[in-house]
Amino acid sequence: MERIAEPQDSQRRWRSKARRDGAGAYKSSNSRAESTSPSCILPITAGDSSKRIKLTEEPTISVQSSQDIPDKFSDKAHKKAYYRYYLRNAYVKPSKVESPGDWLLDLKVPAIEKLLPAHLCERPLDFFSDRSIDLRTAQKCLELHVAKGLVASQDKGLQLKRFRACRGGVIALNWLLIHYDDADLSDNTGFLKPLIHCLVAEKPTDLIWHWLKVEHIPTALSTQPWKERVAWRSAVLRFLVESQVYWDQDDKGINLALETLSHAWSIRFADESRRGDMVLPKTLTSVWVMKQLLLKGASATADPNLYDDFIFTLRFWIKDPVNREHAVSKMMLRHPSKASAQPTLDFLRHYCAKDPRPSFLCDPFNSWAGYGYLVNCAQWLNEAGDTAAACWVLDVARAEMPEYFSMRARFNDTDARPLLGAAVRPLQDLPPVGSERWDRRKAYIDSGGLK
Checking if the pLDDT of 418 tops 50, the result is: no
Query: What pTM, to 2 d.p., does this model score?
Result: 0.73
In a domain, 105, yes or no: yes
Q: Which among 57, 52, 49, 51 is positioned nearest to 395, based on CA atoms?
A: 57
As a whole number, mean pLDDT of residues 388-397 equals 91
98 and 247 part of one domain:
yes
118 and 219 part of one domain:
yes
The last residue of a domain, from among 220, 250, 285? 285
In a domain, 416, yes or no: no
Checking if the pLDDT of 281 tops 80, the result is: yes
Q: Worst-scoring range by mean pLDDT, 9-23, 203-217, 279-293, 395-409?
A: 9-23
227 and 364 part of one domain:
no
In a domain, 426, yes or no: no
Alpha-helix runs per DSSP H in 334-367: 342-352
What's the alpha-carbon Rg for the chain, to the nearest Å?
25
Checking if the pLDDT of 6 tops 60, the result is: no
Q: What is the pLDDT of residue 199?
A: 95
Q: Could you report the per-residue pLDDT of 333-343, keeping only the tens digit for each? A: 999 999 999 99
119 and 225 part of one domain:
yes
Q: What is the pLDDT of residue 352?
A: 77
Q: What is the pLDDT of residue 415?
A: 44
In a domain, 394, yes or no: yes
In a domain, 321, yes or no: no
Q: What is the pLDDT of residue 29?
A: 36
The last residue of a domain, from among 250, 285, 320? 285
More confident residue, 165 or 399: 165
228 and 109 part of one domain:
yes
Please tell me whether residue 308 adopts helix, strand or coil conformation.
helix
Q: Worst-scoring range by mean pLDDT, 260-264, 306-310, 317-321?
A: 317-321
Domain total of the chain: 2
102 and 238 part of one domain:
yes
Domain of 264 in residue numbering reads as 94-268+276-285
In a domain, 248, yes or no: yes
More confident residue, 427 or 284: 284
In a domain, 311, yes or no: no
For the chain, give the percent of residues with pLDDT over 70: 71
For the chain, give the percent of residues with pLDDT over 90: 41
As a whole number, mean pLDDT of residues 235-243 equals 96
Gap between the Cα atoms of 307 and 310, Å rounded? 5
Checking if the pLDDT of 146 tops 60, the result is: yes
169 and 259 part of one domain:
yes
More confident residue, 9 or 233: 233
Q: What is the pLDDT of residue 36?
A: 34
Q: What is the pLDDT of residue 428?
A: 44
As a whole number, mean pLDDT of residues 47-63 equals 37
- Spell out the SS3 assignment of 109-159: HHHHHCCCCHHHHHCHHHHHHCCCCCHHHHHHHHHHHHHHHHHHCCCHHHH
364 and 280 part of one domain:
no
Gap between the Cα atoms of 137 and 3, Å rounded? 6
Q: CA torsion sign, 63 to 64 to 69 to 73?
A: positive
Residue 286 pLDDT level (bands cut at 50, 70, 90): very high
398 and 250 part of one domain:
no
The last residue of a domain, from among 258, 285, 312? 285
Residue 205 pLDDT level (bands cut at 50, 70, 90): confident
Q: Worst-scoring range by mean pLDDT, 353-357, 421-425, 441-445?
A: 421-425
Residue 313 pLDDT level (bands cut at 50, 70, 90): very high
In a domain, 54, yes or no: no
138 and 250 part of one domain:
yes
Residue 73 pLDDT level (bands cut at 50, 70, 90): low
260 and 346 part of one domain:
no
109 and 245 part of one domain:
yes
